Structure 1
Amino acid sequence: MSQSIFSHIPCGQTLPLNNIHAVSVSMPELQDVIDYEEQTPEILEKIKSAYPRFVMHPYLKILASHIKEKYKVSNAYEVVLLSSQKAVDVVSSKYFIHNKIEINEPFGVILVQNGTTQLQKVLKFIQHVGYNLSSRLAQDYLFEIGLLNNIHQEELENKTIAKEIVISELAKAYKQPKQNICLTPSGMNAVYCALKGLKPIQERNGKNKLIQLGWLYLDTMNIVEHYFDENKIFYDINNLDLLEEYLKTNGHTISAIITEIPTNPLLQTVDLVRLKELCLKYNIVLVIDATFATPYNLDLKPYADIYIESLTKFACGNADVLMGALILNENSKISMMSQEFFKHADEPYIKDIQRLAFQIKDYEKRMKVISKNTKLLVEYFKKAPFIDEIFYCLNPKYASNYQKLMIDENSLTGIISVTFKKDFKEIYDKLNFAKGPSLGTEFTLLMPYTYLAHYDLILTKSGNEFLEKIGLPINLLRISVGCEDINDIINEFERV
C-alpha cells in the first residue's frame, strides 16, 4: 500500500487551511465534535471560526465591539450585525425590536437587550433565514478604519463583470433566462425568499399549508416552522400513496411542497414524475433544493417550479464563500411573479460575488471529476468488508427515479453516506481526510452527520427512537467526495 497523501489536520484549523473566510473547520476526532456540540471551554479556545451561520466570525466580533464603542451602546445591549437594513427590518418586525439610536453603516445593526431570552431567539432566527453579515465586508471595513493590518490575499474576478459571470454560469447550467435567477447572501436566505414569496400567493388563493417532503436540512425545517402557520411533514419520500391520500382531502389547502433532490444525508430521490403529477392536479408549487443534485448531475427542469441552490457548496468548491441562488423555472407560471420572491433577497457583498465568479467557472469540470470519483468509491465500498450500509443515489429502491433525471451515466451526486461494521469513533478518528461541517469541496470532506446536525436527538431515548423512525443512523459518516486521485481516496480508507 502506497503512502497516504492525506495528513491529520489539527482541531480548529480552517477548512480550507489558512483561509480566514473558510466556512468549515477541522474537527478531526469524534470527541472534538461532541465538545463542540456541548460548547466546552477547551473547544471554544481551539475553534475560532466555523460555519458562519452557526459561529460568529472573528472579524464580526471585532466589528461588533467597534460599533458598540463608536455609538456608545450601553452594556445592557448586545450589538447584532446583519447583512443589510432590509435584514434589520425583517428581524426587528419579527421580534418587535426598536433601536434607540440612529446607526448609519453599510450593513445592518440591531441592539438586543442582554439577559433576555430574546437574544438567543434573534441569533437563531438569523441563522435560519441566513441574513449573516459577510466576513469579507467586515474585513474591508476593519482594514479601512485601521483595526486590521492586512486583507486576506485571494484570487477575485473583476468587480464590473463578476455578477454577470455568476448569473450567466447558472443560467447556462439550469437552462433558464438570466432574469429568473436571484443571488442571496446564503443558501438558507434563498429558502427563506422562496417560502416568504409564497405567502401572498397563498393568501390570494386561500391556501394556508405547506408540505415538507422528507427529512430535510435542519434550518430548512426551521424556516418551514417559522413561516407557515400550518405545515404537514411526510418523512418517507418513498411512500407517495400516503401523500396522495392526504391531498384527496386537503389538496385545496396546500400552497407548496418543499423537498430536496436527493435528500441530505440519505441520498433518497422521490418519484418526481408522480410527485409532479400530484402538484399539477392540486395546483401546488414544487420547491426543490437542488444543492446535492447540481445542474450538472440531474435535470430537474421538467419538475421544479422553484429551485434553490446553496452556492457555498459545489458551485464554490473551495468552502470560502457563503452565497445562495433562487431560480424560478421558466416552464412554471410562478416565473411571472419573480418580484414576489426576489424582493426579499439581499444583494451579496461584491467581494463574495467576485470570489464566487472566479470559482464558478470550473463548476462543470469539477462536477465531472467528483461524479466519476463518487462512482468508483461506491464500487469500492460495495466490496469493502468494513462497510455496513451505503447510501448513495442509485440504491435499488429509487434507482429508476434517479436514472430518469441523470444527465449522463456518470452523473452520481458527489455525496456518499456510510455506516461501518467496526467502531465508528475508531474509524472516524483514524481517517486523515478533512473532517468538519459543509460539503461540495474539491477536497474530500467528512462529516459525522447526526452528531453535528442532530446531537440533541442522540442524547435521549425518545430522540434515538425518532432517529430510528426516520431511518437516520447515529453513526453515519457523510462523505463529500473530492477531486483528488480516486486511488489516493481509496488508499486512505484501506489504511484504516
Structure 2
Amino acid sequence: MNQSLFNPIPCGQTLPVNNIHAVSVSMPELQDVIDYEEQTPEILEKITSAYPRFIMHPYLKILATFIKEKYKVSNAYEVVLLSSQKAVDVVSCKYFIHNKIEINEPFGVILVQNGTSQLQKVLKFIQHVGYNLSSRLAEDYLFDVGLLKGKHKEELDDKEIAFDNVISSLASDYKQPQKNICLTPSGMNAVYCALRGLRTIQNKNGKNKLIQLGWLYLDTMNIVEHYFDENKIFYDINNLDIVEDYLKTNGHTISAIITEIPTNPLLQTVDLPRLKNLCLKYNIVLVIDATFATPFNMNLKPYADIYVESLTKFASGNADVLMGAVILNENSKISAISQEFFKHADMPYIKDIQRLSFEIRNYEKRMKTISENTKKLVEYFKKTDYIDEIFYCLNPKYASNYQKLMIDENSYTGIVSVTFKKNFRKIYDKLNFAKGPSLGTEFTLLMPYTYLAHYDLITSQKGQEFLKQIGLPVELLRISVGCEDINEIIKEFERVKEI
C-alpha cells in the first residue's frame, strides 16, 4: 500500500500545527487522553496550549503575571483575566468579588483569593459561559509592552471591513437581517447570551422552567443549571410523546426548549416540525444549536426562534479562532426584543474578527467538500467488517427527521461517530489523523469523545450505567471529516482494519 497522506503528530503539538492561536492540541494515543484527564505531571509538561476554555493559553499566563507585578497584587490573590469589564461584572456579581485595587486595562481582570474553593468555581464558570480573553489580544498587549519579540504571522482581513464581512456572510447564509445577528467571544458565550436573555424574559412572564432535549454538550448543560432554577431533561429525542404528555400539565411553566440539530456526538435529529408545533401551542421559545447543521446542510428557519452557532468550528475551518453567534429568526416574535439577548454579549477582539472574516469566505465551499467526503466515508464504513455502529446524520433511525430538513441530498453534516468490533485503544493509537478536541476543521480531526467529554462517568460504575442509559458508548470515536482527498482518508482507515 502506498504511503498515507497522514503522519503522526507528537503529543502536545498545536492543532493546527505550529499555530499559537490553535484551539486544539494533539493527543495521539489514548493514554495521552487519560493522562490529560487525570492531570498527570508528565502530560502537563507536554500540553501547554489546548482548547482555550479548558487550559489557560500560554500568553494569558504571561499576561496574568505581568498584571500581578504591574499592580503589585498580593500573592494571596490569583489574577484571573476575562474578555471585558462586562464579563467582570457578571462574574463578580455571581461570586461577590470586589477588587480592592483599581485596575485599568483594555480587558477584564478580577482578583480571586487563593486557597479557597471559590477560585475553581470562578474558573469553571468562565469556562462554561465563555468569557475568555482572546489570545490575539494578549499577544498584541505583550508585544506592545516588550514581552514578545514578534507576532504570529497569519492572513487577516482589514479592520475596516472585517466585522461587516462576518455579519453580512452570516446574514446571507441564514437568510436573516443583519440586525438580528450578534457576535460573541465564543460559541458557549452565544449559548449563555441566549439563555440569560430568556431568563430575564421568564422573570417577567412567570415561566420558570427550561426543557433540555437530548444529551447536549457538557457546557450547555452547565449553563442551563446556572441560569434556570428548574429544568427538565428528556434524553431520548425520538420520543416526543413523553414531551407532549409533560407539556399538557407543565406547558404553562416552560420558557424555552433547547436542543442541538443534529446532536453531538450521536448525530440524532428530533422530529422538528412536530416539536415546533408543540412550541407554538404552548408559547415556548425554541433555541437550536446549529453548529453541526450549519446554514448549508439543514434549513432550520421555519423552526428556530433563536439559533446559536460556534463559529470556531465549520465557519472558521482552521481551529484557530474562538467566536460564536446568536441569530434571532425574523419569523419569530422573539426577534422584536433582540436587545434582551444581545446586551449580554461581548464584542470579540478585532483581530479575531479579522481572522474569521478571512476564513468565513470559504464557509460554503468548505461545507460542500466536507459533506461530499462525509457521505463517501459513511458508504465505506457500511461495507467494512471492523466497524460496529455508525452514527451519522442519515442513520436509519433518524433519517426521516433529517431528510425533512436537508437542503439537498448531499447535505451531510461533517461529523461521523463510530464504534469498533476491534480493540479501541489499538485503533485509536494507530490512526495517523490529527487527534484532539474540537471539530469542523478542514483537516480530518478525531476525538475519543466520551473519554474527553465525560471521563468522570467512565471511571465510576454509576457513571457507566448512566452512559448506557443515555446510549453513549464509552469507546466512541467522533470523526470530524476534513477536506482532504476522500480516497486518502479511506486509505488511512484501511490501515487499521487488520488490527
| TM-score above 0.5, yes or no | yes
Runs of 4+ in 1 over 3 A off after TM superposition: none
Q: Which moved more, 1:202-211 or 1:131-140?
A: 202-211
Question: For residue 198 of structure 2, what is the aligned residue in structure 1?
Answer: 198
Secondary structure of 1:397 counterpart:
coil
- Cα distance in 2 for partners of 1:40, 1:461 equals 23
State the 1:226 CA deviation. Answer: 0.4
- Corresponding position: 1:333 with 2:329: no
State the 1:423 CA deviation. Answer: 0.2
Question: For residue 305 of structure 2, what is the aligned residue in structure 1?
Answer: 305
- Deviation digits for residues 212-268 of structure 1 (CA, Å, limit 9, x no counterpart): 000000000000000000000000000000000000000000000000000000000
Question: For residue 210 of structure 1, what is the aligned residue in structure 2?
Answer: 210
Question: For residue 483 of structure 2, what is the aligned residue in structure 1?
Answer: 483
- Cα distance in 2 for partners of 1:146, 1:203 equals 49
Secondary structure of 1:396 counterpart:
coil
Q: Is the 8 A contact 1:167 1:178 kept in 2?
A: yes
**Amino acid in structure 2 at the alignment position of 1:182:** C
Q: Is the 8 A contact 1:184 1:190 kept in 2?
A: yes
Q: Is the 8 A contact 1:225 1:231 kept in 2?
A: yes
State the 1:3 CA deviation. Answer: 1.6
Question: For residue 419 of structure 2, what is the aligned residue in structure 1?
Answer: 419
For 1:436-455, what aligned pairs fall within 5 Å after superposition?
A: 436-455=436-455
Q: Is the 8 A contact 1:187 1:310 kept in 2?
A: yes
- Cα distance in 1 for partners of 2:331, 2:26 equals 42
- Corresponding position: 1:352 with 2:343: no
- Deviation digits for residues 384-439 of structure 1 (CA, Å, limit 9, x no counterpart): 11100000011111111101110110000000000000000000000000000000
Question: For residue 61 of structure 2, what is the aligned residue in structure 1?
Answer: 61
For 1:46-445, what aligned pairs fall within 5 Å after superposition?
A: 46-445=46-445
Secondary structure of 2:397 counterpart:
helix
- Cα distance in 2 for partners of 1:68, 1:213 equals 44
- Cα distance in 1 for partners of 2:77, 2:135 equals 22
How many residues in Structure 1 have an aligned counterpart in Structure 2? 496
- Cα distance in 2 for partners of 1:395, 1:297 equals 15
Q: Is the 8 A contact 1:256 1:285 kept in 2?
A: yes
Secondary structure of 1:182 counterpart:
strand
Q: Normalization by structure 2: what TM-score?
A: 0.99
**Amino acid in structure 2 at the alignment position of 1:417:** S
- Cα distance in 2 for partners of 1:481, 1:157 equals 27
**Amino acid in structure 1 at the alignment position of 2:180:** N
Secondary structure of 2:416 counterpart:
strand
**Amino acid in structure 1 at the alignment position of 2:406:** M
Secondary structure of 1:167 counterpart:
helix
Secondary structure of 2:160 counterpart:
coil
Secondary structure of 1:308 counterpart:
strand
State the 1:139 CA deviation. Answer: 0.2
- Cα distance in 2 for partners of 1:329, 1:437 equals 30
- Cα distance in 2 for partners of 1:436, 1:322 equals 16
| Structure 1: runs of 5 or more not aligned | none
Secondary structure of 2:243 counterpart:
helix
Secondary structure of 1:478 counterpart:
strand
- Cα distance in 1 for partners of 2:157, 2:299 equals 29
State the 1:66 CA deviation. Answer: 0.2
- Deviation digits for residues 62-83 of structure 1 (CA, Å, limit 9, x no counterpart): 0000000000000000000000
- Deviation digits for residues 4-33 of structure 1 (CA, Å, limit 9, x no counterpart): 000000000000000000000000000000
Secondary structure of 1:417 counterpart:
strand
State the 1:132 CA deviation. Answer: 0.1
State the 1:2 CA deviation. Answer: 2.3
Question: For residue 9 of structure 1, what is the aligned residue in structure 2?
Answer: 9
Q: Is the 8 A contact 1:156 1:357 kept in 2?
A: yes
**Amino acid in structure 1 at the alignment position of 2:27:** M
- Cα distance in 1 for partners of 2:199, 2:482 equals 39
Q: Is the 8 A contact 1:184 1:346 kept in 2?
A: yes
Q: Is the 8 A contact 1:2 1:491 kept in 2?
A: no
- Cα distance in 2 for partners of 1:404, 1:246 equals 25
Question: For residue 461 of structure 2, what is the aligned residue in structure 1?
Answer: 461
Question: For residue 26 of structure 2, what is the aligned residue in structure 1?
Answer: 26
State the 1:200 CA deviation. Answer: 2.1
- Cα distance in 1 for partners of 2:378, 2:202 equals 43
Q: Is the 8 A contact 1:11 1:47 kept in 2?
A: yes
- Deviation digits for residues 351-408 of structure 1 (CA, Å, limit 9, x no counterpart): 0000000000000000000000000000000011110000001111111110111011
**Amino acid in structure 2 at the alignment position of 1:66:** F
State the 1:129 CA deviation. Answer: 0.3
- Deviation digits for residues 442-493 of structure 1 (CA, Å, limit 9, x no counterpart): 0000000000000000000000000000000000000000000000000000
Q: Which moved more, 1:212-221 or 1:395-404?
A: 395-404
Aligned-residue identity in percent: 85
Secondary structure of 2:255 counterpart:
strand
Secondary structure of 1:161 counterpart:
helix
**Amino acid in structure 1 at the alignment position of 2:477:** L
Question: For residue 39 of structure 2, what is the aligned residue in structure 1?
Answer: 39
RMSD across aligned C-alpha pairs, in angstroms? 0.4
Secondary structure of 2:233 counterpart:
strand
Q: Which moved more, 1:439-448 or 1:194-203?
A: 194-203
